[in-house]
Structures are given as C-alpha cells and as structure tokens.
C-alpha cells in the first residue's frame, strides 16, 4: 500500500498549497500536524473530501486526522 500512501500524501500536499507553503510538520498517533506559511491558500474543505482523511481540526496547527498506523506512513511520503 506504499503507492496508496504516496497518492494520499500528494493529494494532501496539493491542497496545502504545495511543499513551499509548509513551514513545519509532524505527526502524532493519528494526526498529521501542519503549520503552513500562508493559510489563505490551504483548501481545508477539499482536504476533508480526500478519501483517507478522517477529519481536519484547526488549533495551534492544522491537524489532518488519518488514523493510527496510516499517519506515519503518509508523513514519510
């Protein structure tokens, strides 16, 4: 399923405005935590529609919920 994780990572990155818009990122057990440079170009509604994304939470970072086991594989991609 490595190809599936790479595709999911690419879809998420595209909706985040591309690699150049990522100031920092990390992950926990279930969430990819992203700090974009420019939040105005992030398509949060489109991220929520991506198959494989369970949800999106906006707190100190943009948190994209992917689920346990999947988040670390997608983050690596």
Burial 3-37 (b: 16+ CB within 10 A, else e): eebebbbebbbebbbeeebeeebebeebbbbbebe
Is 1 a residue of the active site?
Answer: no
With vertex at residue 4, the alpha carbon angle to CA 1 and CA 69, rounded to the nearest 5 degrees, is 60
Q: Which of 18, 26, 28, 37 is catalytic?
A: 28
Query: What are the φ/ψ torsions at residue 76 (nearest 5 degrees)?
Result: -60, -40
Residues acting as catalytic residues: 28
């Amino acid at each position: 399923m490595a190809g599936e994780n790479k595709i999911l990572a690419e879809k998420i990155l595209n909706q985040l405005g591309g690699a150049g818009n990522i100031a920092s990122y990390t992950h926990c057990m279930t969430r990819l935590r992203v700090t974009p440079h420019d939040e105005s170009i992030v398509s949060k509604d489109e991220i929520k529609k991506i198959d494989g994304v369970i949800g999106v939470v906006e707190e100190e970072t943009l948190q994209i919920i992917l689920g346990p086991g999947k988040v670390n594989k997608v983050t690596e991609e």
